[in-house]
Structure 1
Amino acid sequence: MIRQPSLPGEPAPSHAVTYLALTLLIFIWAANFSVVKFALRDMAPLAFNGLRFALASSLLWLSLKVGGRTAAIDRRHWPALIGLGLLGNTVYQVLFIYGIDWTLAGNASLMLAATPVFTTLLSALFRQERIACIVWIGVTLSCAGIVLVVWGGTQAVSFSADTVRGDLTVLAAAAGWSSYTVGSAPLVRRYGALPVTAVTMWIGGLALLAISVPAFLAQDWPAVRAVSWLALFYSAAFAIALAYFIWYYSIRQIGSTRTAVYSNFIPVVALVIAWLTLGEQPTWLQLLGAAAIVGGTIVVRLARIERTLVRPPAE
């Protein structure tokens, strides 16, 4: 956290704007699950995601250039950046978009809420962090919540193979993102989070565009409604580009811990929005699972001894 201390006798700085921005961020990301789900009614998953990511990465790179925050990358680090870009942006985005296409918007938000749990486990495995006993309680609680959501949260209160497939696919995306997070930590410390984000997004975005070409050719573009184009723009410009700006601005103002804790409200708001806009009424098992996931994630985030500054999942 970069913040100038107050001089003796001076009032503590107000962070009202930061908390207001974080509140806006919660609604932007929470709504994005339903927005993407709606747009996929008109567009194939890869066609939508290829365009979305191309636009988002271009906007993010432009903001870095305008702000003069680009960094010279040592050529020794390019192989790692290429691998991380493919993992954190190509593989993750493919799993994310197909997962949300197969499951409910609310379910997808809950599966991604488990990302900090995977990150903590991987950090412990690679000895980047020491894990306190209370963290294992949070991990267990979140895992129990995931089981409840996967098996209890279905569209018509009946078992759905497609929904379970989607839940597990988004869960795999969360695990992939956590691997990216842990792997990118040394580069983030060297070059900064936003430059590493921009470079890996461009690398992964180019690969994503390449594998999306068949979907582009097969897509019936004249049949895509204007509202779906607006959904694509919202998801790229607001849920990725603007959201990253707010995220890193908040970290600089109030620190990574308080910023990260705020994001725990996202799946709860996402469930409500999906219920109101898509008619995805959660079951009592799903609500219980949601409480377990959010509660476990809060325990994990607050109890972690050593924290690494990383970007959030590109939703």
Structure 2
Amino acid sequence: MSLLPPPARAPWIGAACAVAVLLIWSSFIVIARFSAQRTLLPLDIAFLRFVFSGLVVLAVLGVQARRGVRPLSGLSWGRIAALAGTAGVGYCTLAYSGFFFAPAAHAAVLMPGSLPLWTALAALWLLHERLTPQRLAGLALIVAGDLLVGGASLWRAFDGDGTWKGDLLFLGAAVSWSLYTVLCRRWQVDAVPATMAIAVGCLASFVPLYAVGAALRWWPSALGDAPATEIALQALYQGGLAMLVAGVAFTYAVRTFGPVRTTMVTALVPGIAALSALALLGEPLGAHALAGLACVTLGLFVGLRGAAAPATPRALAATR
């Protein structure tokens, strides 16, 4: 059951959601990089994100159940696990870990900057969508930007620099989110149920496992050492704004404009996030980072000029 109006009836809502995602994702990169310099560890931040968002969604589900509304009734446990594993556990653990190795500019290029590439490949595979020559040219520019940033990190690895580890983690996070994006389109999952599925799935799986492991010291955790203000702010921002608000906004934008076009729009995030990190965190932009940012931004504008070719009837039937 959809809790939102059909995309065709409210295109302005989709546009507003795309802008909201643009702002939240840009601030997410800066805040996550700043958080890496504080007390909490990557999985601690993911734990707080999933606890807050999961409890909020459980409360909402309880209220809706009393009204006879069951937004997750159309999703099997297997699909809930897939959505939670890609956009929840997979994306968050990889992304948060990456910020402990690489600067915000690298995250800006390699996560949102490479999303159009991975989403296009996933849509080609799962939705049988074809790509126009203009879209392919845009994706080629994005690949060039990723190689400029990632290649420079790999070269410095010979001198003992560990930035390449963060770059690989950022790329893994982008792949994970792109799979979620296309799965939502394939299964026709609306914004609210998709975000609820992620929250519930992560609360039921990651949260208890991590809590038990941290208590038994199976893996390191700094939850006991972090100040209450840091824990509260991370829970509110990561679980409330970055997950619940951005999750609904992103999925609704996908339902309005399609997965490839939506992620092309969010490729504006690299420039905004990198400049914000320069101003707020004092992280310099090297020549390779600037060139990478230029490539992915140019790839955005080139890609937007070429619409994806319509799928064949057979391909459309496969997505239902």
| TM-score, normalization by structure 1 | 0.77
Quick one: structure 1 residues 132 and 197, their matched pair in 2 at CA, closer, same or farther if it must change by over 3 Å?
Answer: same
Quick one: structure 1 residues 176 and 3, their matched pair in 2 at CA, closer, same or farther if it must change by over 3 Å?
Answer: same
Q: Does 1:59 align with 2:51?
A: no
Q: Does 1:264 align with 2:267?
A: yes
What aligned pairs does 1:81-96 form with structure 2 within 5 A after superposition?
81-96=80-95
Deviates more, 1:62-71 or 1:162-171: 62-71
Does the CA-based 8 Å contact 1:43-1:224 persist in structure 2? no
* Counterpart Cα distance in 2 of 1:61 and 1:300: 40
User: Structure 1 regions of 5+ residues with no counterpart?
Assistant: 5-12, 308-315
Q: Structure 2 residue aligned with 1:32, among 28, 33, 57?
A: 28
* Counterpart Cα distance in 1 of 2:201 and 2:250: 22
Query: What is the CA-CA distance between 1:43 and the residue it aligns to?
Result: 0.3
* Counterpart Cα distance in 1 of 2:234 and 2:72: 35
Q: Structure 1 residue aligned with 2:210, among 212, 228, 231?
A: 212
Q: Structure 2 residue aligned with 1:305, among 282, 305, 309?
A: 309
1:2 is paired with a residue whose SS is helix
Quick one: structure 1 residues 18 and 123, their matched pair in 2 at CA, closer, same or farther if it must change by over 3 Å?
Answer: closer
Query: What is the CA-CA distance between 1:242 and the residue it aligns to?
Result: 2.2
Does the CA-based 8 Å contact 1:264-1:297 persist in structure 2? yes
What aligned pairs does 1:41-60 form with structure 2 within 5 A after superposition?
41-60=38-57
Does the CA-based 8 Å contact 2:29-2:104 persist in structure 1? yes
What residue is the counterpart of 2:297 in the other structure?
294
Q: Structure 2 residue aligned with 1:242, among 241, 245, 248?
A: 245
Q: Which string of whole-angstrom CA distances, capped at 9 and with x for unpartnered residues, describes residues 157-195 of structure 1?
A: x966321110111101111222233334332x1x42321
Query: What is the CA-CA distance between 1:144 and the residue it aligns to?
Result: 0.9
Query: What is the CA-CA distance between 1:123 and the residue it aligns to?
Result: 1.9
What residue is the counterpart of 1:102 in the other structure?
101
Q: Structure 2 residue aligned with 1:2, among 4, 8, 15?
A: 8
Quick one: structure 1 residues 32 and 210, their matched pair in 2 at CA, closer, same or farther if it must change by over 3 Å?
Answer: same
Does the CA-based 8 Å contact 1:106-1:270 persist in structure 2? yes
Q: Which string of whole-angstrom CA distances, capped at 9 and with x for unpartnered residues, describes residues 100-149 of structure 1?
A: 22211221122112112111112223452012222222222111100111
What aligned pairs does 1:155-234 form with structure 2 within 5 A after superposition?
161-187=161-187, 189=188, 191-213=189-211, 214-215=213-214, 218-219=221-222, 221-224=224-227, 226-227=229-230, 229-234=232-237
Deviates more, 1:228-237 or 1:281-290: 228-237
Does the CA-based 8 Å contact 1:84-1:200 persist in structure 2? yes
Query: What is the CA-CA distance between 1:291 and the residue it aligns to?
Result: 1.6
* Counterpart Cα distance in 2 of 1:205 and 1:221: 20
* Counterpart Cα distance in 2 of 1:74 and 1:18: 23
Quick one: structure 1 residues 247 and 184, their matched pair in 2 at CA, closer, same or farther if it must change by over 3 Å?
Answer: closer
What residue is the counterpart of 1:116 in the other structure?
116
What is the CA RMSD across the aligned residues, in angstroms?
A: 3.5
* Counterpart Cα distance in 1 of 2:15 and 2:95: 28
Quick one: structure 1 residues 271 and 2, their matched pair in 2 at CA, closer, same or farther if it must change by over 3 Å?
Answer: same
Quick one: structure 1 residues 33 and 72, their matched pair in 2 at CA, closer, same or farther if it must change by over 3 Å?
Answer: closer
* Counterpart Cα distance in 1 of 2:252 and 2:80: 24
Amino acid aligned to 1:42: T
Count of aligned positions: 291
Does the CA-based 8 Å contact 1:29-1:239 persist in structure 2? yes
| TM-score, normalization by structure 2 | 0.76
1:102 is paired with a residue whose SS is coil
Query: What is the CA-CA distance between 1:81 and the residue it aligns to?
Result: 3.0
Quick one: structure 1 residues 223 and 169, their matched pair in 2 at CA, closer, same or farther if it must change by over 3 Å?
Answer: closer
Amino acid aligned to 1:204: C
1:49 is paired with a residue whose SS is helix
Q: Structure 2 residue aligned with 1:281, among 280, 284, 291?
A: 284
**Matched-pair identity in %:** 23
Deviates more, 1:192-201 or 1:137-146: 192-201
Q: Does 1:134 align with 2:138?
A: no
